[in-house]
Structure 1
């Protein structure tokens, strides 16, 4: 009789983290405990024998209740029935004893779909542990290592879970973190002092955890170790999906382009349940894209030279699409489907691009027809809140859409505009994004199968939701002149100066001056009202209606508060946005100091107030 060896994949040690403090605006924290003290630390169990499995074409295993939290399936620990386990193509449901069987194929990742009411283990860095890579000979030679040889299929891969009331709560908060995208240690420290510090102070997301929406690093995959040191400071399970800057760029084929990501962080795609939500993390990046597949329709000519000029494309491969169909078929139709990918199914910033949206978007929409759903993405380094029925010209022209079938949210970026701009006294850059939005993280607050979104600006509480400015003729003239000056290789004149952006004169008022409100989570159905001094509140007008028009671009559609930073200190420019409102100032406004009171109201009736003090002079 051969001996059987049990291997626990990953080493479980505990790293102390400072006590968590609820951030202003976070969910009620009374039911939350200290995460570091209560977190389930562990790993999956891989069982091997000298002889190997009787049938190496089938993988067996058990999903079990790890009551003693040692990550080993002991005889006294019951299997858990009705749990989905997948090899990335097929989906099996565990039987009454928690057992599953899956076909084996080379280069597969086997993962468990966490059921609500249970929690998968996390390692010492809070990275969720729920998958096993099977690649017998290992990755081809890759700069960052890829997957080490796994050898033959094991006798069993067992997935430990523990019961958790936090994952089955009616009310849950899920961190959806866009583009961390650190290119070097300096930027790792920017993230640590910024958004990661904010997450370390929050304890409202322990049940759902955080999902990092791709571009976890900026091409240097050796920084994954540094990223895990960051997630060690957070207060919940950390999960990751891949982005176009997480690629093994030296992979000759798409089959191995995310091997290092898979080895270090997570499967390329997977799903998990919390409360009444089913969260699907997709891989929406195909690299290198190829002419026979990506450009079969002639709309992706950039994919024609994968050997000499490799490029990526927004695409879901056929195997993943098959898995998605099978995964959704197992999900109760009353659940909320949260479908996330790095490259968005559709987005505003790149609405006219095939590369930066997903080729199979319409197929995904057809799968989700009749379900309550929301899509999330990163990639565009902008904040976007697009509602059901919203439409842009590019979506109609490229995909034949006549309106979004359900809300789509682009989460913004922790890196903002790639950590550009002035470094603030708090130790991280302003990094205003291409829509003028400030860096931060998106939170999806779940209540049964419904959701509300909120964006938290780095270093701020949840009440900071707007950015005010003045868009005057003087500003627009300066914008054009400064932008041209920035484009000169060797300027021969001094840089054009804007002067005080909150001072306007009679000529500015006569030539149309708008008070602008960049409402970060503003959307169709949101309103912005402006009251000047003690006057009556009046409605501002949204610059981008999202009713099938093309993007409105240029100085008159820009966010002047953002542009004044970006054109001088780098980043952007925020010359278009789908969440900017304008209020035209009266031409006869008296000389002197004025106070503008702004109230922004979102689709849920939440009101956010802001104030801008400006001055009118007769002549500059």
Structure 2
């Protein structure tokens, strides 16, 4: 069976399963019709003649309403005025007849910015079709093929649209999916049975669709066909931006490092409108990085030998920065700017690392000054809801950023911790992430030019937002011993015992009830009501007031670590969304219940309960 046949067979199988199972995530909304019946399927129109264009230095085309949905610009189909079209450098606006003209470059991707109230076509895999690659001689020889020769510039590239009330709705839900990152067919099936099956059961995101924010695969670019089989299960347009595991690693310059990605999925960067939001998908990965552009300040020594030891860096090149300036200049200042990249402008997990954040962060902040904005990213395999005013020492030391000017959200990963850990009865691994968060996807709920974020754990409903544990002296001693044993597994592995049993020595030595509030951030609160006592505030372990990260057993999530140190994966020895409540030292022997209420910055409350035992001695 060919790769394409495997994809189509898998699509048919999972669709049958999805139709029979109730949604675990956000409730399906009745106002949406069946996506497969209403989706606008088609492609851009490339017009060629034997003579070619009269002026091959200029690309002409029309953005038009495809009334008969045949992807061809017929005489009775009107052009759409006021739409932005770009070649990745210049940004032009269509005239009253929907026409545009753009300069031609030997290596360029031409794309349309979908306007609100319209929808670009999608292919049979739901991948949005809105761009044309022009590379006359094709890519240099690359393992995964790159871009085939496109030949001379066409006479015209026309971009079809259909009218859509869904993309003009004042309330929209956008799926932001981080790090699918499948390395093989086994992991493709993990994703299919997990987060993708969840998305197949939801129909609340048809207007905005899904944006996969990089590391779509794990280095093996031949798996893009399988990924399209996954996107075929989703209920809306699927868009992709590139990550550091989507690279053509055999490209010798950054000019061609994402050619296969561009050929298979999307432009390296682009924008689109839905409702009152303008979404910008950036390429924040430069490979191979070089000393002249990436290590001028000496903070990225890994970029000093691009020939023998090629590395990547978080970077936006000047061509893309100029496109970003021109793109933003066309956007009404009242709109919400959603700016997404694989490597985040800044993040928490790697706040002290220059290569894992974006060199041009200050320039981007200047462009967005005075605008309503939110930044989204993947890359770090963690969930980070960073709010306006948050500060970390690494941001100040590396980039001179004293505090965040608007929210930044690291959206977690579908792969979680690279599909590590034990495989559950649901058919996919626990894959607890490096911050203790569980795998899943973020939904950005838009209301006019405002937004609310929500994280949906794979296989769960939206009310599952917390993970409770007990951080005891016994646990902390085991953490150290088990970590040492994992590094040198000689003899029997140290055992933790029952993590929900606490003795008097534990209480005397300091025991905390911990709450990992996945989407929690500055402004969120956690209260604990122990048995029938009044609720009391828990304390966040990482205040985000300009300090460095707090790392170690006392700052860890014991519920996550107890799984990770035994079954493999990263270790949640730090997290920016952990709250802890110190248990009284005189807590009586017997059964106790802790009732936890976590409240996010939008006032949404999430309840959880932990039952544990106090004994005189273990």
TM-score, normalization: structure 2?
0.97
CA deviation after TM superposition for structure 1 residue 298, in Å: 2.0
Residues 24/185 of structure 1: CA separation in 2 closer, same or farther (3 Å cut): closer
Counterpart of 1:262 in structure 2 is: 262
CA distance in 2, matches of 1:73, 1:388: 46
Using the alignment, how far apart are the partners of 1:23 and 1:494 within structure 2? 43
Cα distance in 1 for partners of 2:356, 2:115 equals 32
In the TM superposition, what whole-angstrom CA distance separates every residue of 1:277-311 from its partner, at most 9, and x where no partner exists? 00000000000000111112222211110000000
Match runs of 1:439-588 below 5 Å: 439-488=439-488, 491-588=489-586
d(CA) in 1 for partners of 2:366, 2:542: 27
SS across alignment from 2:467: strand
Counterparts in 2 of 1:294 and 1:285: CA distance versus 1, 3 Å: same
Contact 2:175–2:209 (Cα < 8 Å) also in 1: yes
User: Deviations 1:511-564 (Å, cap 9, x if unpaired)?
Assistant: 000000000000000000001111110000000000000000000000000000
User: Structure 1's 22 and 403: CA in aligned 2 closer, same or farther, altered over 3 A?
Assistant: farther
State the shift of 1:30 in Å.
2.4
Q: CA deviation at 1:493?
A: 1.7
- Cα distance in structure 2, aligned partners of 1:101 and 1:296: 38
Q: TM-score, normalised by structure 1?
A: 0.97
Corresponding residue number in structure 2 for 1:212: 212
Alpha-carbon contact 1:120-1:161 (below 8 Å) kept: yes
Q: Which residue of 1 aligns with 2:29?
A: 29
Residue 26 of structure 1 and its aligned partner are, at CA, apart by: 2.4
Alignment: residue pair count: 606
CA contact (8 A) 2:25 2:460 kept: no
Q: 1:183 & 1:198 partners in 2: Cα distance? A: 21
Secondary structure, aligned partner of 1:92: strand
- The list of structure 1 runs, each at least 4 consecutive aligned residues, that deviate by more than 4 angstroms after superposition, is 13-22
Post-superposition CA distance 1:104-123 (Å, at most 9, x none): 00110000000000000000
| Two-structure CA RMSD over aligned residues (Å) | 1.2
Alignment of 1:408-447 (within 5 A): 408-447=408-447
Q: Deviations 1:6-25 (Å, cap 9, x if unpaired)?
A: xxxxxxx9976457687466
Residue equivalent to 2:149: 149
Question: CA–CA distance in 2 between the matches of 1:25 and 1:527?
Answer: 24
1:181 Cα shift? 0.1
Query: Does the 8 A contact of 1:337 with 1:373 survive in 2?
Result: yes
Name the counterpart of 1:87.
Answer: 87
Separation in 2 of the partners of 1:62 and 1:466? 50
Shift of 1:566: 0.2
CA drift at 1:402: 1.2
Contact residue 216 and residue 242 of structure 1 kept, 8 A = yes
SS of the residue 2:294 aligns to: coil
Rounded Cα–Cα distance in structure 1 between residues aligned with 2:370 and 2:28: 32
The residue number in structure 1 matching 2:288 is 288
SS in 2 for 1:60: strand
Question: d(CA) in 2 for partners of 1:388 and 1:532?
Answer: 33
Contact 2:287 2:310 in 1 (8 A): yes
Contact 1:59 1:102 in 2 (8 A): yes
Please list the CA deviations of residues 397-449 of structure 1 after superposition, one character each: whole Å capped at 9, or x if unmatched. 11111110000000000000000000000000000000000000000000000
Q: Is the 8 A contact 2:28 2:203 kept in 1?
A: no
- Determine helix, strand or coil for the equivalent of 2:612: strand
2:293 is paired with a residue whose SS is coil
The CA deviation at 1:27 is 6.2
Gap runs ≥5 in structure 1: 1-12
Alignment-derived partner of residue 616 in structure 1? 614
Residues 115-143 of structure 1, C-alpha deviations (whole Å, 9 max, x = no match):
00000000000000000000000000000
Please give the alpha-carbon distance, in whole angstroms, between the structure 1 residues aligned to 2:200 and 2:25: 15
SS in structure 1 at match of 2:188? helix
1:457-509 CA-partner distances (Å, limit 9, x unpaired): 00000000000000000000000000011011xx3221000000000100000
**How far off is 1:148 after superposition?**
0.1
**Does the 8 A contact of 2:110 with 2:131 survive in 1?**
yes
Which residue of 1 is the match for residue 4 of structure 2?
A: none
Q: Name 1:597's counterpart in structure 2.
A: 595
Q: 1:123 and 1:348 mapped to 2: Cα distance?
A: 37
Instruction: Show the counterpart of 2:5.
Output: none
* CA offset digits 1:198-226 (Å, max 9, x no partner): 00000000000000000000000000000
Aligned pairs for 1:97-496 (under 5 A) are: 97-488=97-488, 491-496=489-494
- Matches of 1:84 and 1:215 in 2, distance apart? 28
Structure 1 CA distance for aligned equivalents of residues 611 and 302 of structure 2 = 49
